[in-house]
Every structure is written in structure tokens, then in C-alpha cells.
Amino acid sequence: MATLSDRTFTQIAELMHGSIGLSFAPSKKPLISSRLAPRIQRLGLGSFEEYLQLISTPDDGGEFQMAVDLLTTNETYFFREPAHFELIEAELARERPRRVAVWSAASSFGDEAYSTAMLLADLHQRGQIGSDWSILGTDISDRVLHSASSAIYPAERLRQVPPERLKRHCLKGEGESEGLVQIGPKLRERVKFGQLNLCAAIEGGLPGAPFDIVFLRNVLIYFDPPTKRAVVDRVLTQLRPGGLFFIGTAEGRVPCDTPLQVLAPGAFRKVAG
């Protein structure tokens, strides 16, 4: 397999940044090489240059999207960063709102969206929120959105979900489906998924906006500083004043012009303007 030259790496990085805002520093060259090399081999192409030519053309057969998936897909699982869900539970139990709208802005395979759905369903059952609650999950990847809509997961991904909650909200696979779990239909009907490029303008607002809770976790790492700021401010236009905003706990300071109050690592409240 041919090696990834500096020149071709730069061209791939420029294509990703220009198209969807992804930023890859020179230190990410080994990552791009290791993620794309098996795909190039599977397609029967002879070099990274041929692959670049393929994903640069409009008639690429969806290969550009495949490259995006390969370069951005990370491990995800249910109730990742549990302190965020504990904060949401405490906040909603205190406020007892009649309506709760949530946006998982980089929803990936849906683990975050369905984790939140489990929490909201339990809060509603306890009478701590009203019956009008909904969740929107968006991502740039068709592939992960299709998987999220099916709501079928390896049981290992739900390792942090207590057995009682699993029993309430999930269907356990048997026979050929042993080791798999599907989210139950009552939760699935509350969670909708759609494709969205966070680097593009949000025309006319999103379904369900303004949201009470917005997750933008573990995606800002893919953007350079100016793009991060633009993305965060754009996303926050869809959050109501006083609403909760979450990024990954390891992502540091939020780069934005929108006033935010720090609640905990990775957790913020949008300040009323």
C-alpha cells in the first residue's frame, strides 16, 4: 500500500475543512492514513491520490460521506459522562416543566439521544415532568443516522444502564439476535433523527426549537478555533435562555460569544439576554 504523502494529506485536510469544517492538524496524518488505508484497499485503488480524486468529484457514489464516517466515528455508549445526566435529572426534578425539548446535535449512533429518552421517560413516570417531551438527534453521517433509527445496539454499549431501566425500556435479543438490545417502541417514537451539517446555516430553526437542553459533546475536537466558535454560537441560537448546554468534559473552555454560566465541567446554562 502506498504511503500518504504530506501533499496529499494537506489536500485531504483542505477538502474536509472546506466542505464540512473538519480540521486536521499535521499531527493527525497517521490517523487519516490508518483510517482510510483499509477502505482504499477494499475499493481496489492503488494510492491515496486516487482516493482523493474519487472523493473530490460530485459523482463519488457516496464515498466522500464514507470518508467522513471513517475519520470521525469514535466509541460511544449509553449514559456517557453520567454527571451530565445527574445534573439534568436534578434540574428537571426541581423545575417540573410541562414541556421538555432536547437536541443531541452530534448524535452519532443515537446512544446519547436514547439515554436521554430513558431519563425523561422515568422522570415523566414519577410525575416530575409533563407528558410533552421530545428529542431530536442530528448528525452529518447518513450511515450513523440509519443505525440510530434502527435503535439496535450490542448489549455492551448499555453497560452503564441499571438492569431495572433496561427491563423498562429495552427488548433483549434472543437466538440469532442474542447479545443485542433494541430500544422499545415507546421511546423510539419520542426520538427523531435528521441529517445536519453544523457548519451550515440553520434555516428557519429546527423542529422542536427552542430547546431546553442541547448536547454538543465530543465533536468540537474536529474543528479549528474559528469554526468551533461559529458552530457553538450557531447551535446556541436554538437553545432557550436559561436552557442547559453540554460539551464533553475534556473539551475545556467553550469558545463562543453567547453568554454562558458554568455549572460543572462541560455543563452550562445559557444566560438570558
CA distances from 70 to 34, 37, 137, 160, 257 (A): 10, 10, 20, 26, 32
Which pLDDT value is given to residue 1?
Answer: 62
Residues 66 and 91 in one domain: no
Residue 77 lies in a domain: no
Which pLDDT value is given to residue 61?
Answer: 86
Residues 21 and 126 in one domain: no
Contact 211, 238 (CB under 8 A): yes
Which pLDDT value is given to residue 143?
Answer: 85
Catalytic residue among 139, 165, 190, 212: 139
Which pLDDT value is given to residue 127?
Answer: 97
Residues 149 and 17 in one domain: no
Output the nine-digit C-alpha cell for 229.
466558535
Residues 129 and 27 in one domain: no
- Residue 218 marked ligand-binding: yes
- 139 has catalytic annotation: yes
Residues 112 and 241 in one domain: yes
Residue 60 lies in a domain: yes
- Residue 157 marked ligand-binding: no
How far out from the chain centre does Cα 112 lie?
A: 7
CA distances from 200 to 14, 54, 85, 157 (A): 17, 24, 29, 31
Residues 120 and 40 in one domain: no
Give the Cα separation of 103 and 137 in Å (integer): 6
Residues of the chain with pLDDT under 50: none
Residue 242 lies in a domain: yes
Catalytic residue among 6, 7, 35, 224: 35
State phi, psi for 171 to the nearest 5 degrees: -110, 125
Which pLDDT value is given to residue 72?
Answer: 81
Output the nine-digit C-alpha cell for 233.
454560537
- 60 has catalytic annotation: no
Residues 135 and 218 in one domain: yes
Question: At 114, which helix (H) or strand (E)?
Answer: helix 111-125
- Residue 45 marked ligand-binding: no
- Residue 89 marked ligand-binding: no
Strands 180-183 and 152-154: antiparallel
Which pLDDT value is given to residue 258?
Answer: 96
What's the domain range around 171?
Answer: 82-270
Query: Residue 28 belongs to a domain with what CATH number?
Result: 1.10.155.10
Q: Which of 17, 52, 72 is the last residue of a domain?
A: 72
